[in-house]
């Protein structure tokens, strides 16, 4: 098992779980020509017996060309 924290992203166009580096309060995912922005909601849920931080989608910005 990895030492990195496991997270859950909820909302927007992206829903996935994964392991970011460090303990972020905000996460930006590049998807579909833009940046999907998530913030830690303060919520945790249990996934496969592990406590997982839930990051809620906040807003999207378009990548400038």
Q: How many domains does the chain have?
A: 1
Q: What is the pLDDT of residues 14-41, one digit of tens each?
A: 445 555 555 678 888 888 888 888 898 8
Q: How many CB atoms lie within 10 A of CB 64?
A: 4
User: For residues 18 and 11, is the Cβ–Cβ distance under 8 A?
Assistant: no
- Distances from the Cα of 49 to the Cαs of 4, 6, 33, 61, in angstroms? 16, 12, 35, 34
User: pLDDT value at position 25?
Assistant: 82
Where in the sequence is the domain holding 28, given as residue range(s)?
A: 7-62
Mean pLDDT of 54-61: 89
Does this model's pTM top 0.85? no
Q: Does residue 1 form part of some domain?
A: no
> Distance (Å, rounded) from C-alpha 40 to C-alpha 44?
9
> What value does the mean pLDDT of the chain take?
76
Q: Does residue 2 form part of some domain?
A: no
């Amino acid at each position: 098992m990895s030492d990195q924290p496991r997270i859950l992203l909820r909302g927007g166009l992206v829903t996935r779980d994964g392991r970011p580096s460090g303990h972020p309060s905000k996460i930006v995912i590049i998807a579909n020509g833009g940046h999907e922005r998530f913030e830690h909601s303060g919520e945790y849920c249990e996934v496969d017996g592990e406590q997982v931080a839930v990051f809620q989608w906040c807003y999207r910005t378009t990548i400038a060309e």
